Structure 1
Amino acid sequence: MSYAVLAASLRSAMQRNDQSAISHVVSEMQPADIADFARYEPAYTVLSLLMLLPEAQRGPTFGYLETEQQRDIAEKMTDEELAKLVSSMDADERADLFHLVEPGRQPAILRQLSKRERDDLRKLASYEEGTAGAVMTSEYVAVPEDIDVAEALSLLRASAPDAETIYQIYCVDVQGRLKGAVSLRQLILAAPHLPISELMVEDVVFVTAETPQEEVSRLIAHYDLLALPVINGGERLVGIVTYDDAMDVAEEEATEDMHKGVSIGKLEGSLRSASLYELYRKRVVWLVLLVFANIFSGAGIAHFEETIEAYIALVFFLPLLVDSGGNAGSQAATLMVRGMATGDVRTRDWAKMLGREVGVALGLGLTMALAVSVVGIFRAGTEIAMVVALSMVLIVMVGSLIGMLLPFILQRFNVDPATASAPLVTSIADASGVLIYFALATAILGLPS
């Protein structure tokens, strides 16, 4: 049955407050679909729905909800209800929820967990946000390196129910240090008495618990991994980051870069739940700064007042020219920022990128100059058309080079290249365009005596 039909049936059952019908419908829905249905419902309605779910389904469903909604629901739950929810969640999501709970409630929740869950939660919650430790899970399968395949399969059967993934099994020594890895496929196909040490791959890609989460996401994508092992300072295996968590990190980082690209600070929650004040605060700083940056454009126009008075037709082409420079610069900046984010472009590549951008920008400028010169001839004559066409070439080239170089300059000074945002590049390109246009016009046309 499709999600649309199930969602309509669930809504109808909830409006009738038919708990039997609600339980029947949700039993046929995936946790992600239940979370999608609940995303726009009030917290008390979602809490009632969660309480009707089996415990095995409650934790995964809650894990799909947005952070702000999780916090609101957690505030309405008793300590006992919250502890049961924590127990039903995956280890990494459990730690995320624990961070959302008020510090005063945390000891009461910990007391109701088993010792193993309590120790595991404390460990995972201790890692700094934005690191591999904060997104890893402790629910993985590890086997000693000195056993054979039959013993490893026996251990796997015992560990599988609690593991987040069993397709990759990690091999450790007696101190718990990572020594290698073996796939489930290899175990199944290997002879039962073959030592694991002869089967495992020793050259394993891993990260430390302090590795930035964006680097973890990049490595998983680069090596096409299902999971990435995480070690501590003593090389002991402490967790894994699975590909689904890496996808969440990649989405979060991409969203943050997009916000920076239009001069918006990072939102604490979702756009839907953000307050008016937060949206205002995240947007106002750069907009005010760029207002003052645009004063340079006004100063450039004021400096060439005599040229403008002598050739008023020049004003007609001003928005067209400066916008073209800003647009070209924004395109170049976007390409460079994304290339840096994916690792396709590095700081040392700036000279190569500069040479290519000069060629591309020249081609773009000439093409756009040809198009605008036709308008210039019919609008203001051959002389002004020549000024406009030449200005277009130079403005597009300068705007493109500004957009291409600014991310490299920012990275050189340890500033996030995503800060080379479209508004910033456009403001710089606009001021440059004004100066180039009127300086050329003054030089070529001169002033009437």
Structure 2
Amino acid sequence: MQYDIHNSIKIPIEMLAIGMFVTAIERTKRVNLTNAGRVSNDHSIAQLVTNGVTFVWVDVALSAEGSVSGEIDAFLRQNETSNETSNETSNETSSEGDVSITASEALAKSKKQSRFAQHKRASKIIREAKGLAQKLINQTFEGKTIDVVNIDQWADDLIELVAINSDALQCISALRNKDKYLLEHSVNVAFLLVNFGKYLQLPQDTLKQLAIGGIIHDIGKIKVDDKVLLKPSRLTPEEFDQIKLHQVYAKQMITNVRGLSHVARDVCLMHHEKLDGKGYPLGLKGEQIPLHGRMTSIVDIYDALTSDRCYKKGMSSAEAFKILLGLAPHHLDQTLVYKFINCIGVYPVGAIVELSDGRVGIVWSSNQLKPLKPEVKCFYSRKYKRYLDVTYVDLKHTSVNIERAIAPYNLEINATPFFDLK
């Protein structure tokens, strides 16, 4: 595959780090459009230095999250003037064409294209996931055998995009449709599990099994009577017993899933177990519930709380966090609950927030070092009761703060169109 160097930023070899995606290298003022790829270890960097490489071009969109640090932004700003001057005389590049652009142009262009590329890819992965989930539902309902191999590639794509930048996926998955709850809930649980597992530094193969388990975790609900499953009011004890049977159905149905690992199986069958032994279907207690089972309990409840259902509106992430903390330590693993909140952020990407100046927007990208200072896509003013020109506000560069999180149903306008990248 040929990568466009114009989508990349130029940095000194000394600033190259593991996880960055290199699209070109410069040796003795000559640019080589070499085989592109992500830097995987220190040996690769040392080899470039040994070979006399002085500068590299890095694609921010394809680099691992966190690998392109603020130090690079500072370097680019400091060297912007000198780069503009040197670009006038830096035509001594390869015959493959003039690739000289200013640092500020490269950074701005890279960030813009990064947004589009990541959101486009995230949308594709979410669409594929919903298609897979629907196919699994149809096949299991018909009693057909399913091969996990058919899910593997999607799981790999999901893990790769989470590794590059989970923000785009989190933003896309924040869009909900209550009429497709079962599909979207399965997809969101899979994504959140992979993101949580990455935060906990679980092995790559475990992340894949978490994704697969998340996709099938509620498969048993397709055999629950819709009158009970979609009832818009409080369930009777008898009806709740019917809901609980979805775990019994799931145990029977996953026997038709060929190649299912014990991790994916546990995700499917243990997400309603509780630490105090009062969960179902097995009534497991404490350490009898493996890590991935305890993780899924937290993720499943969080996504259910923040989703619109036939009988309720989805709440804000802040409200959901309070409930999760209230369920710990008797039902949920308290340590894992705190880690989950740290993982997705106090104000998760995709959350709707009101700023201290009255502007309303969507949390667009996270800030791991300053979680209370994310980037917000603003589009409305509650102060003036009118729409605004869309602006991206990086709160770490302003005195404005987030005043509160807003549940979508509590917002007087429809925010859905602003989840698009515009």
Task: From the two aligned structures, give the one with the greater helix fraction.
Answer: 1
TM over 0.5: no
Larger radius of gyration: 1
Q: Pick the structure with more strand per residue.
A: 2
